[in-house]
Structure 1
Amino acid sequence: MAESDLQYDNSHRLFVQSLMSYQILEESKALEIHELVCSMANVEQGDFAMFVGQINHKLNEYDFSLRRSHNQWTGEPVIAFVNTKPDDVAQLATSYDATQIGLFRKLIESIVMADDDKYSVRSMTAISLGQHMEPAMTTKATEEFLEQLVKDQWLMERSGSYTLSPRCLMELTGYLHEQFQGVIKECHMCSDLVTVGERCESQPCNVRIHKHCAEQLFVTNRQPLSCPSCRTTWSRTSTFGLSPP
């Protein structure tokens, strides 16, 4: 038996089962679960990063992974149970029918392709997309599906608009890169996908930075602040994406 198999015990299994039920959690909550499952399995609570690494070594065999990132709006660390192959809407959203998956794709496209880096779509526009499906979806059916996407943590709804959720960004990273290359951006600091944050005021510059990453970047810097790429003055007031509630 491999050494990695010996390290994988009931605490890991219980943790995976818990993450599968939540899909995505703030890391502070995941740490509480880590402590609990270690106690239940009667094993010593070790380093959390190593614990996750041991799980991922096992999950890789089945094309799943625990992926760590941050909530773009709060900056809170999060961890998600994600499917790593294939990274496609049709394969991941298996609880939806073909028409719903088609609508989900159209919603993602409308959000990513929104003008001026808004990365959001108004609810009335989202509802109207259902009428253009084959077969067409009723207004009620579309509204119920949008509610389900929010409940399943694929979309977030804020102030009458929909945007991509942390789970969607983490689990559909490959799909989003493939379908929207050059449109969807990576944070200049952490390299995760970014759909809300601060941007360079120079129009040709593609630098986008999460708010929490910008806080780390500029906290020790003296005025004037400047873009880490083109050196344009960085005012911290040039923002994009759907603002927090």
Structure 2
Amino acid sequence: MESNYNHGNRAFLQAIMGRGSLTLSEGKSIVATILNVQEGTTITEDDVSQATFDSFIAAAAEAVSCFEYEIRSMQHQITKNKIYAFVNSVSDPFTQQATLRSPDELLYIKRLLDTIFETNNSRRKEVMAITSMQALEIQIRKGNSDKGLTQTEAEALLSSLEKENWLERSPKGYYSLAPRALMELRTWLIDNYNDNEDPNANQKIKFCEACREIVTVGQRCIDLDCNTRLHNICEAAFWKSRPSRNCPKCELQWNGENYVGEKAITIEEENLRRKSRGEKRRRQSQSNKVNNANGEEQEQIDNGVRKRRARLELPNTNDASSE
């Protein structure tokens, strides 16, 4: 450890350890506060250079390396924000959580992950997320046990996991792994859900062709048996560097309309709704045609009745002349 490691570096390390993860903006804000205390300045996060921030990250990473911890970073798959996380580089994540969670809570988390990466991650539909309603189903809360978690306990645990940056919840109510979890659980996810070491075999955990990070939100190849995936945030730069928009593995055209993440199901639902609306309009149109036809037929009948009545009501001209 370098001799210039100081109280400011310790304060920064404590901050990232306490939060578990932080964004670049949050990190710079912490550094600004530390420098203001240390140097008596009044700077803001905008005044903290990337080099200064990187020096705090490097010092923190070096300080924890001998304890088998790391400071890892990745871009958020949706917002593109740079995220930094304090992660254990060696031990099983469930071993780490054993001191913080009850056995039933750990079993619930495992069933939650199985649902996200097994049940909701099929060959045809890679949702890789779970709805709040599904996360509270009795099969996930209790499994095959009579005990498990109550709905209230499960809701509290989900809230805690979200607050601790293990899970994130979308505006449509889908839970998925947050960047902290993707960085911390990377090796565990691969070991537990990828059965075949052959990179060309279908795998549950797939990686972005551009940045090589796990993809739980993005795009997939049109070929269901192809493992090529791309983050939406990586797509533009990736295709700009290539001569064509063809999949780099199977060479099929990449149309950008096959999704990974909750969009895989929300788009399908929208298509079904659109199809339903189209069918409804078609039935309405047919109904209108039938009604129009019936209306025209009724009008013809009414006209005929009126004409017959008119003839009956006309005076007999022959009778009138004889009088």
TM-score (norm 1): 0.87
What is the aligned residue count? 241
Within a 5 Å distance, the mapping from 1:120-131 to structure 2 comes to: 120-128=129-137, 129-131=140-142
* CA deviation after TM superposition for structure 1 residue 133, in Å: 5.5
Change (3 A) 1:36 1:140: closer
Choose between structure 1 and 2: higher helix proportion. Answer: 2
* CA deviation after TM superposition for structure 1 residue 48, in Å: 3.1
Within a 5 Å distance, the mapping from 1:1-245 to structure 2 comes to: 4-42=1-39, 46-92=51-97, 94-113=99-118, 114=120, 115=122, 116-128=125-137, 129-132=140-143, 134=145, 135-158=147-170, 159-181=172-194, 182-219=203-240, 224-243=244-263
Give 4+ residue runs of structure 1 displaced > 6 Å after superposition: none
SS of 1:194's equivalent in the other structure is coil
Q: Which runs of 5+ in 2 are unaligned?
A: 41-47, 195-202, 267-323
Higher relative contact order (CA 8 A, sep 6+): 1
Is the Cα contact below 8 Å between 1:225 and 1:233 reproduced in 2? yes
* CA deviation after TM superposition for structure 1 residue 221, in Å: 5.6
CA offset digits 1:32-81 (Å, max 9, x no partner): 32233234334997543343223212211112221111111111111112
TM-score (norm 2): 0.68
Identity of aligned residues (%): 26
* Greater mean alpha carbon deviation, residues 100-109 or residues 176-185: 176-185
* CA deviation after TM superposition for structure 1 residue 30, in Å: 1.1
SS of 2:136's equivalent in the other structure is helix
Q: Give 2:190's aligned amino acid.
A: H
Q: Which runs of 5+ in 1 are unaligned?
A: none
* CA deviation after TM superposition for structure 1 residue 90, in Å: 3.4
Rounded to whole Å, the distance in 1 between the matches of 2:183 and 2:92 is 10
* CA deviation after TM superposition for structure 1 residue 185, in Å: 1.1
SS of 1:117's equivalent in the other structure is coil
Rounded to whole Å, the distance in 2 between the matches of 1:171 and 1:215 is 27
Choose between structure 1 and 2: higher strand proportion. Answer: 1
- CA RMSD for the aligned pairs? 2.5
* CA deviation after TM superposition for structure 1 residue 17, in Å: 1.2
* CA deviation after TM superposition for structure 1 residue 120, in Å: 1.2
* Greater mean alpha carbon deviation, residues 100-109 or residues 5-14: 5-14
* CA deviation after TM superposition for structure 1 residue 93, in Å: 5.9
Change (3 A) 1:68 1:102: same
* CA deviation after TM superposition for structure 1 residue 130, in Å: 0.8
* CA deviation after TM superposition for structure 1 residue 220, in Å: 6.1
SS of 2:87's equivalent in the other structure is strand
Is the Cα contact below 8 Å between 1:90 and 1:101 reproduced in 2? no
Rounded to whole Å, the distance in 1 between the matches of 2:156 and 2:56 is 39
Rounded to whole Å, the distance in 1 between the matches of 2:29 and 2:236 is 27
